[in-house]
Structure 1
Amino acid sequence: MTAHLSTSRPPLPPFDHDSALIKVRAAEDGWNGRDPAKVALAYTADSRWRNRDEFLHGRQEIEAFLQRKWQREHDYRLIKELWAYTGNRIAVRFAYEWHDDAGQWYRSYGNENWEFDAQGLMAVRHASINDLAISESARLFHWPQGRRPDEHAGLTQLGL
């Protein structure tokens, strides 16, 4: 059974097109902020994740995972795009760019399936991700660290 917080995380399910877009952008903004503790609050206390080959349970594991992730993925910038929605579920596709300690740049592509509780917290997240080594000159995500500017192209406009 999902543990609930006393506060909600709008927009709440059931989602329509506009509310799903808002939810996707809020998730993108949170991840681009790279604050593991803050990002973890968007998930239920007992949220279940599959991220690549890792299976996580609960905010504490999510926060620890994100700390490890952003310690090794430098200059991280992410774009998410709504793929589909229904009821309390949203599917997104995404790409993010980052480099490792040696300076090798990557573009990571993936898909996520999300399920939300009645308070709008994510209870389930399944992520499938592939990494592609790229040259620094092939990078497409050049905004300053943090939130993607509204005028910056999305995945479809970038041909991704």
Structure 2
Amino acid sequence: MNFDLDFEDTRQPLPAFTKDSAIQKVRIAEDAWNNKNPEKIATAYSLDSQWRNRDQFVKGRDEIIQFLTGKWDKELEYRLIKELWAVQDNRIAVRYVYEWHDKDGNWFRSHGNENWEFNKKGLMTQRHASINDVAILESERKFLWPLGPRPVDHPGLTDLGL
């Protein structure tokens, strides 16, 4: 796999997605975001990928890197779970939840929905994200694995009642 920011590599699985290949694509994205490497993550998006994330609009890999770097400078001890919501052809809808705390130690659980569109190379060309943050107590956290990808045996969102 090529991680050159100026090159569009092919990323499996490719559209048209089945339920199983969409679930695989969602887990790959979850693992990548939990590893928090903005440059590596950006290569999963087309060179001209367009995002709407809350009230921010991002275009292209350089802006994706800037966005993710700023996100994880603010959202500390970030842990994410994604779940497939729907799939059709080259589009996937996911719901997700992530937990994090700010620099003052205030914990949050952020609930979101994303709509994704992919090109023939399996690169995401569009990402539309709507997210709501809910303040939680540290004792209410449910995502307690060590930083990095979620362990295979850790429950997903449905199993956690989220």
For Structure 1 versus Structure 2, the TM-score category normalised by the shorter chain is: over 0.9
Cα separation, 1, equivalents of 2:63 and 2:96: 22
1:159 is aligned, of 153, 158, 161, to 161
Equivalent residue runs for 1:71-82 within 5 Å: 71-82=73-84
1:7 Cα deviation after fit: 2.5
Q: Over aligned residues, Cα RMSD in angstroms?
A: 1.0
Distance, in Å, in 1 between the alignment partners of 2:147 and 2:12 is 25
2:68 to 49, 66, 69: 66
Give 2:90's match in structure 1, choosing from 68, 88, 91: 88
* Equivalent-residue separation in structure 2 for 1:58 and 1:14 (angstroms): 23
Please, what TM-score do these two structures have when normalized by structure 2?
0.95
Paired position in structure 1 for 2:26: 24
Deviation at 1:74, TM superposition (A): 0.4
Alignment of 1:33-112 (within 5 A): 33-112=35-114
Paired amino acid for 2:28: A
Unaligned runs of 5+ residues in structure 2 are 1-5
Counterpart of 1:143 in 2: which secondary structure? coil
Divergent runs of 4+, >4 A: none
CA deviation map 1:111-160 (0-9, x unaligned)? 00000000000000000000000000000000000010000000000000
Structure 1 gap ranges (5+): none
Q: Does 1:136 align with 2:138?
A: yes
Q: How many residue pairs end up in the alignment?
A: 157
Q: How far did 1:6 drift?
A: 5.1
For residue 48 of structure 1, what is the amino acid of its counterpart?
Q
Query: CA deviation digits over 1:35-81, x for unaligned, max 9?
Result: 00011111000000000000010000000000000011000000000
How big is the shift at 1:5?
Answer: 4.4
- TM-score normalized by the length of structure 1: 0.96
2:25 partner amino acid: K
